Every structure is written in C-alpha cells, then in structure tokens.
Amino acid sequence: VLLAAELLLPVSGPVSLIICIAAYLVVGAEVVYEAFKELFTGQAFGENLLMTIATIGAFFIQEYSEAVLVMLLYQIGELFQSMAVGKSRRAISDLMELRPDTANVMRDGQLVQLHPIEVKAGMEIIVKPGEKVPLDGTVMQGNSYIDASALTGESLPQQVGPGSAVLSGSVNTSAPLQITVTKEYNESTATKILNMIEDVGGKKARAESFITKFSKYYTPIVVGCAVLLAVLPILFVKDAVASEWIRRALMFLVVSCPCALVISVPLSYFGGIGCASKNGILIKGSNSVDALAGVTAVAMDKTGTLTKGQLQVAAVEAQGFAEKQVLEYAALTEWYSDHPIALAIKRAYGEELEQQPEQSKEIAGKGMVARLQGKRIAVGNAQLMELEGAAYAPYEGGGSAVYVSVDGVYAGRILVKDQLRAEAGQAIRQLKQLGVQNITMLSGDSQAAVREVAEQLEIDARGELLPGDKVEQVEQLIAANESGKLAFVGDGINDAPVLTRADVGVAMGTIGKDAAIEAADMVIMGDDLRKLPAAIQISRKVSRIVKQNISIALIIKIGVLILSALGWSNMILAIFADVGVMILAIINAMRTLKIKLPQLED
C-alpha cells in the first residue's frame, strides 16, 4: 500500500524517502536482519546479503521505489518458494505418519497400551478397526481388510485372516485383529522406511552437489565483480557518472542472486522422490534418481522377482491311472513333509487328507516311499524311479517333475513350477518402450527352468549361477553397457552382493529380505515389477526438469548480467532475471509432483 501511494501520489524528496523507508522496513526488515546475522556466523555471502546491498545501495542513489519493489518481489518469490517446498515435503512427510505411537498389548487377559519400542517379538497385540498396525506380525485371530496404500501404493484393501502376514504402517479397516509380533520396533517395515526417508537428504545428485559448491564460491565472486563494476569506471573512465555505474553494479547484484538454482534443483529431486513414494517406490536419494534416469540395461533375478516364488502344480500326467488318483497318492505319501514341492502337491489336491499312510520313509535326496492300503507308493525324482524299477518317461522341460510309482509300476508324473508374475510381461514391455532393450535374467535355477521363463518374456537368460557368479555376470553386463547404467532387481539375501555391485540396486520390498533392502538404491514396495519402469520414467522426467532449470536460469542471468554491465538494462529487467526466473524454475520443478505414469493393465 505504501509503495502504491509513493508511485501514484505526487510526492517527492523527503516525503517520498520516508514513505519508501517505511515500506522497505515492512517488507525487508527480516531480510536485512538475516543478512547482518549471517555476517557474524561465517555465512555472509548468501542471497540475503545480495538483496540487502542492492536495495540499500538503491536508496543511496535515490532509486527509492525500485529498492522497495526489488525487496517486495524478492519476498513474494520467497513466499512462493516456501509454499512449493512445503507441498513437496508433504509428498514425503505423509509417510512419516506410518508408525503409530502406541500398541495395544495383551497382558494377563488385559489390554495395555505400550509404546511400540517396548513390544517384543512373540507378544500378542490387538489392532482395532481404523488403527494402524504398529509392528510387523502374523494374524492369529480375526478376519479383516488391510489398507496398505501408504506402503505399497496399492489402493485396493487386502483381505487378511489367521496366518496372514501384516506390515506395520498398514491400516486395519473393518474388524479387530489379534496379531503375534514377528519383528520388533527397529526391524519393522515402517521403521525401515522412515530411516530411509531420513537418509534421503544426505545422498545428493551430482547436479545438486555442484549447485551447492557453485553457490558457495559464486556469491563472493559476484559481489567482488559488482564492486569493481562500480569503482573502476569512476577511477579510470573520463566523465564517468558515479551514480550510473553504482546503479549498474546494483542491478548486477540483483540479477546474480543464485536462488533460482539453489532452490529449484533440490526441489525437483525432492518432488520426484515424493511422487515415487506415493506410487509405492522408495528411492533412497537424489543420486539414485540420477542413476535411474541413466538406466539402459536391466538384469534381474527369477525367483521372487519375475516369478511368485511359490511352487504350484502345473500339470498331472497319468499313465494307467486317473490323474486324480495319482495326485492323491502323491499327497498322501507326502503327508509328513514340509518340503515346498510337497506343500504344492497337497495344495493342488485341495481336499482334506483323511487317511494317513500306514508307513512312510524318506529316501535322502530322492523322495518319499509310503504304504497305502497295502500298496507301495514311491514319490520322488528319476533316481527313485530307477530304485523302484519303474519304467518312467524322463522330463526335460522347465520346472520340476515329481514321479509316482505304485508297487514298482510307473503311474505318472506331477509337474511343479514357479508361476510367472502376472505383471512381469507388461513390466518388460514398458522397459523396452523406455529404450531399455538389454534385459537379462540371472538365476541359480536350472537352465531348462530359466530358458522357459526367458522365452515367455522374450529376454536373455543365464542359469545355474551362484551369488558370486551373478556378481561376475553383472560386471560383464556393465562393461558391455558403456553408454548407460545397469540396474539389478532382486529380493533375496543372496542378491545383496550383486545389488551393491550394480549401478542401481533395486529390491522387491514386501517379500524382500532385509539384507537386500539395505543394499539397494531403490525399494519396490508391494512387489509389483511394473514400478521399475515407472521409477525410471519419474527419474528421467526429474533429470530433464533439472537440466531445463539450470539452462534457463544461467542463460537469462548471464544475458541480463551483460546488459546490466553495459547499461542496456533497467531494474525491472533485473528483477525479472532474479525473482521471475526463480518463480519460473519453481513452477517447473513442481511438475515433478504430478508426473503421469503409464496406465497399469489388470
């Protein structure tokens, strides 16, 4: 209001000065205070000092309204900046609400509220409808729906019941659940995510580190140049007008303020990381964003990454017996076994096993032999069939074949395979659409099993690899991929060394082991492999926006700096080169919060 009065009313001289000083104190007192405070804390050369020198200098050359206008627009830019940073931080800070402050613990039949850090593994907790799950655990009683969207980005609630695993940070939506704690406070999913978020700021990208160092040296150099621009012409140029050269030097200071770069570059990365977190993708720092943006090759594990990591019966091939009978014989023979293949066969049988085998014996490394209703049933591998003298048909395809014989007569075989993830095919297609053509599966499984999955997905594959072999293979792939970065996706403890060696390590979070998550640069929550191309797309968008902001800011500022030094500019253009460019850069940076991802197929 005071500035408008000075500009619109017919005032001049001392009256104009008084009005402008009052207006200046209203909008600029805080900036001046911060500038002088920084002088005594060793941080003198910041944007506050540049603005203070430029505006106070403008008063000395009687450019009163310009001084107030510069400070006003600078404060508007600062307000806009704080709003943008707040919005960007909220995208990540929402995750900070994952972990509740209390847990309802059952003690001697009574419900007691404790801080989650006091709850030990094995204790029973009660989670009421609407409450967050405080610690990872297994449901013992109750059936409900769990909202894990804050963790995984998956909007549909998941049905849970006795035996279901639940993660801390998810919300119980419909009915009380009695849960046995499996991981203590410091090892729970929510705590690990929060620890990763707290570490994000310390892992700066190359551009971000450059801007930090750049601004440290840039500001004192600019102040020195402005002093020289004001003093040297007065000393050495004939008929030089002191006020004119001081005005040019002040404009030089206004233009040179590096806030557009200092603010927009970190803001772009922070916004991108926030956008990723909303979609169930946890990127551990801006350096990882840069690395993901440069990914042109991907290697990945098979079990638990491309496949579900759970064996299922794919087919039953009977010879002289009904398929149902062969499956029943196998399920009854495997009655006492907890081997993953045995569990898959019993699940496939589907009916309750009412009769137990009369005798049951394990043949080490070969299978099981049992006596059922007076018959000798053998269930196992080819070596067991040879011991039984059964003329079996060898299987050479992917997966595992479980052979069944009855009294030494071959009855058929059960094919057990790890099922391909439903989204794996779409994830591979999206990666190829992003230009990632070199996709290789590295697995410890048999060549036949690896080849079958690779053919379905149309990717390269290498099987029968030990953890050390995977590291060697990744090093070869990195050497062959000279033009870009290589990402490795894995989920198990044995993947930790190769996750560390790859340019970008990606862990599948929910089923992933802690060692893999700790070693990775990025964690996919919810185990949806389609989030890998989504993360690459977010990172590339962030990288483009950072480069745009740096280019725009430097080109405009250098151009106006030259014009100011030559006297071909004015204070309005100088203000645009500072505040205007900062606002443009912030608006551009905020686009990282609204990155559109490819639509996911069902």
Instruction: Give the residue numbers marked as catalytic.
Output: 301
Cβ atoms within 10 Å of 83's Cβ, excluding its own = 12
Rounded CA-CA distance 277/30 in Å is 35
Do the beta carbons of residue 259 and residue 549 sit within 8 Å? Answer: no
User: Who contacts 562 (Cβ-Cβ below 8 Å, separation ≥6)?
Assistant: none
SS3 452: helix
**DSSP E strand stretches across 55-173:** 103-107, 110-114, 124-127, 137-141, 144-147, 158-160, 165-166, 171-172
Round the CA-based radius of gyration of the chain to a whole number and report it: 34
Do the beta carbons of residue 50 and residue 31 sit within 8 Å? Answer: no
Query: What kind and span of H or E run contains 166?
Result: strand 165-166
| C-alpha closest to that of 346 among 399, 420, 414 | 414
Q: What angle do CA 168, 169, 175 make, to 5 degrees?
A: 85
Do the beta carbons of residue 586 and residue 546 sit within 8 Å? Answer: no
User: Who contacts 10 (Cβ-Cβ below 8 Å, separation ≥6)?
Assistant: none
DSSP code, position 510 = T
Rounded CA-CA distance 284/475 in Å is 23
Q: Kindly provide the b/e burial profile for residues 558-596, where b requires at least 16 CB atoms within 10 angstroms of the residue's own CB.
A: eebbebbbeeebebebbbbbbbbbbbbbbebbbbbbebe
| C-alpha closest to that of 534 among 335, 355, 275 | 275
